[in-house]
Amino acid sequence: MINADTNAARDSRAASVITPHSDAMIAVDHLSKWFGGIQAVRDVSLSIRKGTITGLIGPNGAGKTTLFNIIAGHYKPTHGTVSLDGEDVTGLDPHDLFRRGLLRTFQLAQEFASLPVRENLMMVPPDQPGENLVNAWFRPRRVAEEEAKLRKKADEVLDFLTLSHLADERAGNLSGGQKKLLELGRTMMVDAKIVFLDEVGAGVNRTLLNTIADVIQTLHRDEGYTFCVIEHDMDFIARLCDPVIVMAEGAVLAEGTSEEILANEAVIEAYLGTGLKHARPQRGATP
């Protein structure tokens, strides 16, 4: 629990960490969200700059997922605005944001369990011609061509994710880590501008976590993806993210490099009693 002094310190810090950048892919301005009597997000202003892998950390209940849900259109904010690439997108629904290149994964993987892995990927792109009855009846060749293209793309994505051998497996039979990789794969089936990953490493073994980190780095480097990553594992955050934004009790507490964040007294205080997993990145060690 953060005491009153820390709250005061946080409030003064919060004002100083507001960073409206001209190269913001996402700009959140004075965002608040109430659930009944609970204020899950408190007057948050922050930017996610183009071309970054921005980390979002904070103790359980800090408001990270709620912030994602507002940005991705799942919840309407009580106050405040969200802009995407300079355009106000506050209150747009997730489908609309998806078409504009804003993608997210969920804290709990959302695969279609009874469908094969490949089909899980093939169904991602919106407005496939086969979904339109008129097309399906009168332009079957076009539908077949589109499906062949999608299948090829899905197979490329599976190859990239090292999941090719599981293409025909029911998605429900994948391990937790493989489901997270599949979620990441869904973001590769369309042209994403920014991808929000909510605890993509939770419950994932080290080997798969390394694969996930490699995939994120490659998409960032070669495809120009911007990422915002929620994760409790500080090794993972320190390896991938710059900058790192810290939330506590619904508000932004600090922003900086992972080294600055790990040395920040207010951050350490906010995590007291909760335990910051792998709090100190091991220099030179490959996580």
Ligand X SMILES: Nc1ncnc2c1ncn2[C@@H]1O[C@H](COP(=O)(O)OP(=O)(O)OP(=O)(O)O)[C@@H](O)[C@H]1O
- Give me the residues that bind Mg ion (CB under 5 A), please: 65
Residue with smaller CB distance to ligand X, 83 or 107: 107
Instruction: Report what 63 binds from ligand X, Mg ion, none; CB cut-off 5-8 Å by kind.
Output: ligand X
Residue with smaller CB distance to ligand X, 35 or 138: 35
Contacts of 125 (CB under 8 A, 6+ apart): 150, 189, 190
Instruction: Report what 125 binds from ligand X, Mg ion, none; CB cut-off 5-8 Å by kind.
Output: none
- Measured between its terminal Cα atoms, the distance across the chain in Å is 30
Tell me 263's DSSP state.
T
Residue with smaller CB distance to ligand X, 107 or 164: 107
User: In whole angstroms, how close is the CB of 65 to Mg ion at the nearest point?
Assistant: 3
User: In whole angstroms, how close is the CB of 230 to Mg ion at the nearest point?
Assistant: 6
**Position 225, amino acid:** Y
Q: How far apart are CA 190 and CA 121, in angstroms?
A: 10
User: In whole angstroms, how close is the CB of 170 to ligand X at the nearest point?
Assistant: 28
Residue with smaller CB distance to ligand X, 56 or 97: 56
Q: Where on the chain is the footprint of ligand X (CB under 6 A)?
A: 35, 38, 40, 58, 60-66, 107
Q: How far apart are CA 122 and CA 129, in angstroms?
A: 12
User: In whole angstroms, how close is the CB of 63 to Mg ion at the nearest point?
Assistant: 9
Instruction: Report what 66 binds from ligand X, Mg ion, none; CB cut-off 5-8 Å by kind.
Output: ligand X
User: In whole angstroms, how close is the CB of 10 to ligand X at the nearest point?
Assistant: 15
Instruction: Report what 61 binds from ligand X, Mg ion, none; CB cut-off 5-8 Å by kind.
Output: ligand X
Q: Provide the sign of the torsion angle of the four alpha carbons 243, 82, 67, 196, taken in this order.
A: negative
User: In whole angstroms, how close is the CB of 107 to ligand X at the nearest point?
Assistant: 6
Residue with smaller CB distance to ligand X, 157 or 183: 183
Instruction: Report what 52 binds from ligand X, Mg ion, none; CB cut-off 5-8 Å by kind.
Output: none
Residue in the block written with tokens 């071309």: 51
Determine contact, residues 261/267, Cβ cutoff 8 Å.
yes
Instruction: Report what 32 binds from ligand X, Mg ion, none; CB cut-off 5-8 Å by kind.
Output: none
Residue with smaller CB distance to ligand X, 62 or 182: 62
Determine contact, residues 90/81, Cβ cutoff 8 Å.
yes
Determine contact, residues 97/104, Cβ cutoff 8 Å.
no
User: In whole angstroms, how close is the CB of 17 to ligand X at the nearest point?
Assistant: 17
**Position 119, amino acid:** E
3-state secondary structure at position 104: strand
Determine contact, residues 193/84, Cβ cutoff 8 Å.
yes
The secondary structure element, H or E, covering residue 80 is strand 79-84
Residue with smaller CB distance to ligand X, 15 or 38: 38
Residue nearest Mg ion, Cβ-based: 65
Q: How far apart are CA 240 and CA 200, in angstroms?
A: 13
Q: How far apart are CA 198 and CA 49, in angstroms?
A: 18
